[in-house]
Amino acid sequence: MLPKVISAVHLALWVSSYAITSAEDPHLTRALKLMSETPLIDGHNDLPWQLRKQFNNELNKVDLNTLSTTHTNIPKIKEGRLGAQFWSAYVPCDTQYKDAVRQTLEQIDVIHRMCQKYPETFMFATSSKDIMDAFSMNKTASLIGVEGGHSLDSSLGALRTMYQLGVRYLTLTHSCNTPWADNWLVDTGSEPSQHNGLSPFGKQLIMEMNRLGMLIDLAHVPVTVMNQVLDMSKAPVIFSHSSAYSICQHKRNVPDDVLKRVNETGGIVMVNFYNDYVTCSKTAKLSDVADHFDHIKKVAGAGIIGFGGDYDGVTRLPEGLEDVSKVPKLVAELLRRGWTDDEVKAALGDNLLRVLTEVERVGHSLSGTSPDDVPIPYEEVKNSCRTHYGYPNAGAVHSLSTLALLLALALQTLITLTAL
């Protein structure tokens, strides 16, 4: 009988909270109702990186019910009505050419373990169906996105392995060029372009992601890469945490012509809450974030909009959106601005579900195609931390170089002896 009593108490509290909310803000009441019908799907949350930074991934030392040093914990998730979350498996750019793959695997592992430790809150998810199944059980569907192509060490095999571990999107770059793609800083002029966007191997990788049924995330890439991918991808793309460039002219944001192309190709832009991308300053308000939603809807329609808060990955958040629990207030603001129920539901989760379903369909249609096993050319990845195994010509070149050096030394010794 006890569970039924508890359920009745929860129901009474829910009804009571609705009544109080209604009296205070009918738009918030309506927002909560819509969020009970359609899952809020957020494109990017860096809680796993905070678990690394603060606890070195020692989850036994952490209680997500009481954790107070992050934007995200279980009570905040519940209050924010978070239906599904792409958790970021992120490691910094200085791991490139070193231990990026290992560290990324450890971030994937901590997301899995987080779901296992709190099964009453999280359900690990890899598909659009999983998201809806979790929503029906009042759990937060937990998906993985790898943030930064440097995490692959330029390996299609690593990409496929991460997919098998549940990764469902790859952000092509973070804030460093990879051996096959330029990053967004190229557009600021602070870094040189190395590939004029994507290298031939970068284009191979896009096609392999299509074949796998993995979302291609264009947050953190320059406009050249945005357009190259939009030209060639057989599936729609996402921007997991980017805002509108016309509102805040930061190179991490998406220009209007690209917004229109995202609409034409059926993709989604999930709005980032970071003050610097919202107002191009250190301060912002919730209404400033809503301005980005309004602008994207005006330019390209409500069908390409989503939420990509970037909680726990940023240092400054707007007044009114200080943590994950506050997102319903943003939904209420959209309703206050005249957004229809259908438009709000599209932004909450229907748009992302449509995109993910189509990416899955494309992957299924290509499932009979053999995996691409042509590696990146050795000269494009050669460095002191990489061996040449599997590249026989590279080994031969190394041997010939060594032989040439020995011959040169022998010749110099002979000349010296002759002179004596």
Pick the CATH number of 38-380 from 3.40.50.12160, 3.40.50.10890, 1.10.3720.10, 3.20.20.140: 3.20.20.140
- Cα distance between residue 138 and residue 271, in whole Å: 24
* Catalytically annotated residues: 44, 46, 147, 174, 220, 241, 310
Domain boundaries, the chain: 38-380, 393-419
For residue 8, the Cα-to-chain-centroid distance in whole angstroms is 38
Across residues 281-296, what is the average pLDDT?
A: 99
Tell me what pLDDT residue 393 has. 78
Q: DSSP for 33-91, please give it.
A: HHHHHS-EEEEEE-HHHHHHHHHTT-GGG--TTT--SSS--HHHHHHTTEEEEEEEEE-
Task: Tell me what percent of the residues of the chain surpass a pLDDT of 90.
Answer: 87
In 3D space, the residue among 227, 219, 297 whose CA is nearest the CA of residue 261 turns out to be 227
Residue 44's identity, in one-letter code, is H
| 357-391 per-position pLDDT tens digit | 999 999 999 999 999 999 999 999 999 999 999 99
pTM over 0.85: yes
In 3D space, the residue among 273, 323, 314 whose CA is nearest the CA of residue 293 turns out to be 273
Q: Beta 238-239 vs 268-271: how paired, if at all?
A: parallel
Q: Are 38 and 349 in contact (CB under 8 A)?
A: yes
**What is each CA distance from 66 to 51, 93, 174, 309, 322, in whole angstroms?**
14, 31, 31, 21, 17
Across residues 37-45, what is the average pLDDT?
A: 98
Mean pLDDT of the chain: 92
Q: Give the angle 182-185-190 at the CA atoms, nearest 5°.
A: 115
| 141-181 per-position pLDDT tens digit | 999 999 999 999 999 999 999 999 999 999 999 999 999 99
Tokens 């991918």, residue located: 229
The yes-or-no verdict on residue 402 having pLDDT over 60 is no
In 3D space, the residue among 293, 300, 298, 273 whose CA is nearest the CA of residue 284 turns out to be 273
The yes-or-no verdict on residue 32 having pLDDT over 60 is yes
The yes-or-no verdict on residue 314 having pLDDT over 70 is yes
Q: How many residues does the chain have?
A: 420
Tell me what pLDDT residue 190 has. 98
Tell me what pLDDT residue 11 has. 43
Tokens 């997991």, residue located: 240
- Cα distance between residue 133 and residue 181, in whole Å: 36
The yes-or-no verdict on residue 210 having pLDDT over 50 is yes
> In sequence order, what are the residues at sequence separation of 6 or more whose Cβ sits closer than 8 angstroms to the Cβ of residue 171?
145, 146, 147, 148, 149, 217, 218, 219, 220, 240
